Structures are given as C-alpha cells and as structure tokens.
Amino acid sequence: MILAATTVACGDGVVPDEGGHASADHHDGGHSHDGMVDLSGLPNPPNLTIVATPDGPGTVALEITVDGLELVPVDPPQEHQAGQGHAHVTVDGTSVAMVAETHYRLTGLSSGSHVLEVSLSSNDHRGYMVDGKPISVSMTLVVDAGVDRVPDHRFELEVVGGKIVGGPPRLEVAVGDLVEVTVRSDAADYVHLHVYDVSMAVHPGVPAILRMVAAIPGVFEAEMHGSGLRVFELQVS
C-alpha cells in the first residue's frame, strides 16, 4: 500500500514535509463558518499534525498530534469548555470518527485515492477556526488494498421520529468480516459504535455509512450520540 500527502485544491491546503507529515495550515475547505468557535484572539492557537502510516491491506494508522488543546472524549457529551475539544475525521467527505485519542486506525479502505481530513472541534462539535478558516489538515491517501473487498455483510437501518424502524437489531458477523452499516435518519445526529470508537454523522437525506473490519470479538452497542437512542448491537464472533 502506498501513502502520499498532497495539497488540497481548496483553500491554502497542506504541504507535507519530506517524511510524509502534514502540519496544520488553516484552510477554508468550503465549509460554512456558522456556529464555529473563533480562536483568532489567542496568541498561540491550537496546532494539528497528522502522520498516516500503512498498517495492512486497506488500513491506515493515524498519529494525531495536537498542541494547545486538551483532547476530551465525546462520550458522554459535554458542554463547551475553552481549551478542550476533539478531532473529527472524514474520508472522501464522509465523517467516519470523532476521536480524543492520539492514534486511530482507518480500515476497509478500497484501492485508489482517498481524501483524508482531520479537523479540531469543541466539546459541542463546533469547529475551531483561526482568521476565518477551520483548523484542519487534509492529505490524499493512495491506498493499495490488494484485492478490493466486497463487504461480507451490508446492513441498512432507519431512524424515524426518534425510533429505529423495526426495533434495534443485533447484527451478527464473524471476526475479520468487512461490515458496512448504513443508517438513515430524519434528524441530524452522530451514530457512535462503542469500543470500536467509530462515530458517523447522519443528516436527513444524507445517510451515515460505517465501513469497518470486525476485528474485536464481543457484543458492542451503537447509539445516537445526541439522543442516546440505541441503534443496533454488533455481535462479532
């Protein structure tokens, strides 16, 4: 698998150093600034650095370094506190995780180019910005997954009126299976799968798609981060 970092076309982007590191350059990225937290007045605003390393077929290990901001878990939900927050991880424009750890593994990536973006957000999920631009890092991952895998299991769920249509199911898979879960909702929220610590943004008309390798055996609960609604259980055996 080959990994590359490159400048993103929108905004100022990120220029990687010779070691493949990409340091934060505060770029617009086409995102709305409504409801963001402006840190322009700080003498030393937070700085974000990402190192992406191949870690097996279709898998990339991320090392996330944040200076000037305390990373705080997103679960349980917390109110905004100055100097605290977490990182939002997106791949090809789709939110895949909200993390407060310094290491995270992207799994189930297909062969080809994928745009990775990591941005800093407050405890209440508002993006941090400096001089009108989000604090984020973007890079292009060029992935060789060997033989592209078709998901071993595909599941589709729908949330309507704060309830799971048909009730929350238990999704049974085997260790090593590639699993794809699509969640549709009539309200905006995040779907969070515990232990795997994967979160997905969902909006009306825009489903959340979780694609992952079931590497950890056990039974794990997924819930809506905002409402606390149990969405499904993942049983890996």
pLDDT digits (tens, 9 = 90+) for 154-177: 999 999 999 999 988 999 999 988
Report pTM. Answer: 0.58
Supply φ then ψ for residue 142, to 5 degrees. Answer: -105, 110
What's the Cα-to-Cα distance from 94 to each of 88, 166, 183, rounded to whole Å? 10, 26, 13
Q: Could you tell me where in the chain the CATH 2.60.40.420 domains are found?
A: 153-236
215-223 average pLDDT score? 90
Res 178 pLDDT > 50: yes
Q: Could you tell me where in the chain the CATH 2.60.40.10 domains are found?
A: 22-143
Tens-place pLDDT, residues 89-117: 989 888 888 888 888 888 878 888 889 99
Token pair recorded at residue 51:
């190192």
Q: With respect to CATH, is domain 22-143 assigned 2.60.40.10?
A: yes
Res 3 pLDDT > 50: no
Q: Which CATH class is domain 153-236?
A: mainly beta
| Residue 2: how many other CB atoms lie within 10 Å | 8
Tens-place pLDDT, residues 54-75: 777 788 888 899 999 999 887 7
